[in-house]
Chains A and B, each alone.
Chain A
């Protein structure tokens, strides 16, 4: 099967295809620029640094962050979350999170817990919904951070970041959001939502390449407290053996992924040229079509809120009587429908949904999917379900 004939429904893991501008920008970076961004004073090094800086500007604009110098690039959202959590929390601190988190949040928190940080996990409903009042109730005098997934990577449920942001702000507690599933696909205004540290990954709905991501620091974040997690060369202040304090250098030691960041910049500019609202509207329509289609099949159980307006375009389900891994393999082999099955690096979320340890089949829709593809995927699931129906 030609790759372009496949129905790629694994955008929640990594989006594909990408806008052509992304690969063009990466090729330009490789073939025409090449040099180490900002490490040297020659024209190619400076041009590389300019491209990286313009990607910071694009990311800042996408998330309504006032200062591109507070956009810290990392290899992915996992590193960004590790920086935020390990950089901020100290033994004796208390941190609040939800029952819908990815292991990119839970594993750092469990490691911190072993070192004396107190962790509260606020439970969510079986659709993955979080009541902000429960977050409020979980706060303690020593709560130093609230960290929340913006949308579940398992079933798409949107968490109430705006309400939780207000609660955190009223108490003066910094608020970290894992925007892995929403960056580029859902309007995100850090300031309006009260987000202090926004962690993003480039390769999902931001439509950039793998190996890009970052942490956007709001103006209120005390960068003296936020400790860098790696030290080393930055191309600046080389006379000193102490880590620089200027941003973004403080958190960006080591040569950056200039080729990937060039692609990320192009991707974010593409997203903004389309308009996040336009992308969101397309994905809502596809998601509702998928939900309606799957819900109409008897013997199929669909997870999450069953309402495109309350979730990202990620739909998870099971065919009763068939394991998710069998469904995934047969969708791939017989229908060219590519998806992700299993636990999706999020055991906590699956416990909340009642799908642990069996897992689910996940269709992650993206901006380049079409209504015809959704119809074909629904028909494929329907055919498989018919086989096992008693």
Chain B
């Protein structure tokens, strides 16, 4: 069974790295991946997390002072 994922879209790769650090510190598994083409025309990176972690991930990103440019579930 493959996990269900969600992604946090950001405005800068530096923002993605900052979120990654906050999530790693909190023990939430995540991976920076290229933004899936169907989600956004932005060709940068985004932060992928498991769907069950997505609320916590968004909170941690906000607490880290990063504005989330978008949130999407991956089908």
Contact = CB atoms under 8 A, between A and B. Distances in A.
A140 interface: no
Nearest to B34: A41
B34 A237 contact: no
A115 interface: no
A53 B18 contact: yes
Interface string A265-307: 0000000000000000000000000000000000000000000
Contacts of A50: 17, 20
A173 B61 CA distance: 32
A41 B12 contact: no
B71 to A, nearest CB: 17
Contacts of B44: 38, 41, 235-238
A266 B44 CA distance: 27
Interface of A: 37-42, 46, 49-50, 52-53, 56, 67-69, 234-239, 244-249
B32 A41 contact: yes
Given A40-B34, A41-B32, A238 B42 contact: yes
Nearest to A42: B34
Given A46-B32, A67-B65, A238 B43 contact: yes
17 contacts: A37-B13, A38-B13, A38-B45, A41-B44, A46-B13, A52-B14, A53-B18, A69-B65, A235-B13, A236-B11, A236-B13, A236-B44, A238-B43, A238-B44, A239-B42, A247-B14, A249-B11
B26 interface: no
Question: Interface SS of chain A: helix, strand, loop or mixed?
Answer: loop
A151 B38 CA distance: 53
Contacts of B43: 238-239
Interface in B5-26: 10-18, 20-21
Contacts, number: 75
B75 interface: no
Contact of B15 (A52, A69, A238): A69
B18 A68 contact: yes
B14 A49 contact: yes
A206 B41 CA distance: 40
Nearest to A238: B43
B10 to A, nearest CB: 8
B11 A237 contact: yes
A165 to B, nearest CB: 24
Contacts of A42: 34
Nearest to A49: B13
Contact of B14 (A41, A56, A238): A56
B33 interface: yes
Given A41-B32, A41-B33, A53-B18, A236 B41 contact: no
Contact of A53 (B11, B17, B35, B40): B17
Contacts of B42: 236-239
Nearest to A46: B32
Contact of B12 (A46, A239, A246): A246
Given A46-B17, A235-B13, A235-B44, 10 more contacts: A38-B16, A38-B44, A41-B45, A49-B14, A49-B45, A236-B10, A236-B12, A238-B41, A238-B43, A246-B12
Nearest to A43: B32
A249 B66 CA distance: 14
B33 A69 contact: no
Given A46-B45, A237-B44, A246 B34 contact: no
Contacts of A237: 11, 42, 44
B32 to A, nearest CB: 5
A46 B12 CA distance: 12
Contacts of B65: 67, 69
B67 to A, nearest CB: 8
Given A38-B45, A236-B42, A236-B44, A246 B11 contact: yes
Given A69-B18, A236-B44, A249 B12 contact: yes
A52 to B, nearest CB: 8
Contacts of B13: 37-39, 46, 49, 235-236, 249
